[in-house]
Structure 1
Amino acid sequence: MQLRLGSAYISCMLAFVLWWSSPSAAAPSVVVSIKPVHSLIAGVMAGVGTPELLLHDAQSPHDLNLVPSDIRKLSRADLVFWIGQALETSMAKIVRAAVSRSKSVELLGVPGMERLQIRKSGLWDPPSDGEDGDRHGEHAAVPREQGRNGDYLQNVDPHIWLSPANASRIVRLAITELSLVDSENAANYRRNGEAVIARILALDLDIGKKLSAVKDTPYIVFHDAYAYFERHYGLNAVGSISVSPERMPGMRRVQLLRGKIESLQARCVFSEPQFEPR
């Protein structure tokens, strides 16, 4: 009798140890297109898994060339987070062909996301014949119902993550989407996500204080990629050297810029490390 009880006890203990030491369910396979969004998703997944990043330092999202291994990652992923065709132009067809709609999270078209129109006046666009370029481009907000239209999104500035409010929206969306595909870790995603949002809020306050003394200072950027940041902090960007990374400025535009830098008293011209300064 004692032997049978002892054997039963040992069997129960072995079963408990095996259950306790067995690995938990595998983390979902998540692919993210660009580094800023990747850092947000990685924060939500902390301690559960690590999302894969498609775009690396030397690449531009505007002309990203996917290799076969990238396409395999996309096709096998449980979730794919990307901005949309307006930013990752070259990968849009591949994503839509390789990833089902239920697994593709196209952030630019998400309802509730703040969206700004691409600026097309003054020093934000090459002057046409007879255009003097005096007007500063305005980054008008896109009505939500229009922003949901895929064609209309081609006129939307895709750099949405530079708005702290949008960054928090992306985090909340990630909590929801990850919890749907991995309900076992829903509490972890929620806890991690709230911590990420708290850090965004703290960073927002810190940046706002640091920029308050220079927010009226006029400056020029290499290309128009910072409208969300400028709008949120009330900065005084007065133009861009290039309309887009794919369109380098010609001699006429360079001459116009030199004159406007002087007339607008731009105090700083920002370059971008991935492009050769001229």
Structure 2
Amino acid sequence: MLTRTRMLAVLLSGLCWTQGAWAQGSPTGPAVVATIKPLQFIAQAILDGEGSVSALIEGSDSPHHFNLSPNDRLRIEQADVLLWIDPKFEVYLAALFADTAASESSLMVTASAISGLTLHRYPDGELDPHLWLSQGNALLIAQALTEQLACIYPDKAPHFRAALDQFRSGIDKQAQALLRRFSNQHVADYLVYHDAYRYFEHDYGLTHSASLVADPDIQPGMREVLELRETISASSPACILLEPDASPALVNTMVQNDAVKRITIDLLGNSLESSANAYRQLIDHVATGFLSCLNI
């Protein structure tokens, strides 16, 4: 697996280098395989009709618990670039990605290792992996991918860089519009099902008062439930932001006030079709959830 130091060197130098070998393009054109749809959306904006981009994890699949099909393995082997968050987020893919990188068949771009990213951590020191919810981070990922693709396919470099400029312009306009929506407003108290919104909240000056679960894959104990119910009752939140796989029973147990609005946000954008505009559509979806939740 590429070390953090080597990956940073690759990204900063712009060299087409993969585990000791100069990367060479395929005659069929660029092939990017992303682990999750938000990364696929970013890559789609840069390829913009050239080659192929696909996501390994879609629908109800979880990055934490995922079984690869033979077709998935073939896509990984044939990819020019593998784009993922890091081995702690897509833990079930870590060993295979390490083997693929060691075989020198694909360049691996680890998003969390890209220089300049804004990274947030939980109180226990673990990285919050939902870094795609920062538009600035998305742009840095797009820049890193652009340089690697431009090296592998130099004849297509002008296309990739023009697509990057368009992606940057779209993100800038979207961010300015959202800043106007979220600024100078009295923001009501709100809850989140899972503490996954830090990047978006940081960008737009928002802070939730409590999260129902520390880990969506682990149900809280009865003591935690009772303590949180008391905290929620005292704070009188206006709404709670849920995720598609949130447990209705747990939510109803903890949030017993029917006046608390329930808004569902799909952080992975599984309902969106991949396109050059899909990343901005994902951010619009997240923003709409917050705006509806907070009556802004």
Smaller-chain TM-score bracket: 0.7 to 0.9
Q: Of Structure 1 and Structure 2, which has the larger fraction of its residues in strand? A: 2
How far 1:214 moved relative to its partner?
5.1
* Equivalence for 2:278: none
Q: CA RMSD in A?
A: 1.9
Which residue type is aligned with residue 193 of structure 1?
L
* Counterpart contact for 1:75–1:99, Cα < 8 Å: no
Q: Please point out which of 191, 196, 205 is paired with 2:167.
A: 196
* Alignment CA distance shift 1:68-1:99 (3 Å): farther
Give me the whole-angstrom Cα distance separating, in 1, the residues matched to 2:239 and 2:95: 38
Q: Please point out which of 17, 28, 31 is paired with 2:30.
A: 28
**1:221 lines up with 2:165 in the alignment:** no
Q: Secondary structure at the match of 2:57?
A: coil
Give me the whole-angstrom Cα distance separating, in 2, the residues matched to 1:268 and 1:78: 44
How far 1:50 moved relative to its partner?
2.5
**1:111 lines up with 2:115 in the alignment:** yes
Q: Which has the higher contact order (CA 8 A, sep 6+)?
A: 2
1:204-247: CA deviation from partner (whole Å, max 9, x where unpaired): 12222222365632211111111111111110212211111211
Which residue type is aligned with residue 101 of structure 2?
V
Give me the whole-angstrom Cα distance separating, in 2, the residues matched to 1:185 and 1:165: 25
* Counterpart contact for 1:44–1:193, Cα < 8 Å: yes
Which residue type is aligned with residue 41 of structure 1?
A
How far 1:25 moved relative to its partner?
4.7
1:68-110: CA deviation from partner (whole Å, max 9, x where unpaired): 2212211221110000122111111111112347611011112
Which residue type is aligned with residue 115 of structure 2?
P
* Equivalence for 1:257: 228
* Counterpart contact for 1:215–1:235, Cα < 8 Å: no
How far 1:190 moved relative to its partner?
0.2
Give me the whole-angstrom Cα distance separating, in 1, the residues matched to 2:88 and 2:174: 27
Q: Secondary structure at the match of 2:141?
A: helix
Q: How many residues align?
A: 222
Give me the whole-angstrom Cα distance separating, in 2, the residues matched to 1:239 and 1:86: 24
Give me the whole-angstrom Cα distance separating, in 2, the residues matched to 1:258 and 1:69: 46
* Counterpart contact for 1:215–1:236, Cα < 8 Å: no
User: What's the TM-score once normalised by structure 1's chain length?
Assistant: 0.75
Runs of 4+ in 1 over 4 A off after TM superposition: none
Where in structure 1 are there 5+ consecutive unaligned residues?
A: 1-23, 121-153
Q: Please point out which of 180, 183, 194 is paired with 1:209.
A: 180
* Equivalence for 1:74: 76
Which residue type is aligned with residue 200 of structure 1?
I
* Equivalence for 1:231: 202
Q: Secondary structure at the match of 2:163?
A: helix
1:172-204: CA deviation from partner (whole Å, max 9, x where unpaired): 111111111111100000001110111111111
Larger radius of gyration: 1
**1:176 lines up with 2:180 in the alignment:** no
* Counterpart contact for 1:116–1:156, Cα < 8 Å: yes
Moved more, 224-233 or 62-71: 62-71
How far 1:158 moved relative to its partner?
1.0
Give me the whole-angstrom Cα distance separating, in 2, the residues matched to 1:214 and 1:97: 50
Give me the whole-angstrom Cα distance separating, in 2, the residues matched to 1:262 and 1:275: 20
User: What's the TM-score once normalised by structure 2's chain length?
Assistant: 0.70
1:1-278 pair list within 5 angstroms: 25-100=27-102, 103-120=107-124, 155-212=126-183, 216-278=187-249
Give me the whole-angstrom Cα distance separating, in 1, the residues matched to 2:87 and 2:211: 22
* Alignment CA distance shift 1:119-1:267 (3 Å): farther
How far 1:64 moved relative to its partner?
2.0
Q: Secondary structure at the match of 2:242?
A: coil
* Counterpart contact for 1:217–1:236, Cα < 8 Å: no
Q: Secondary structure at the match of 2:52?
A: coil
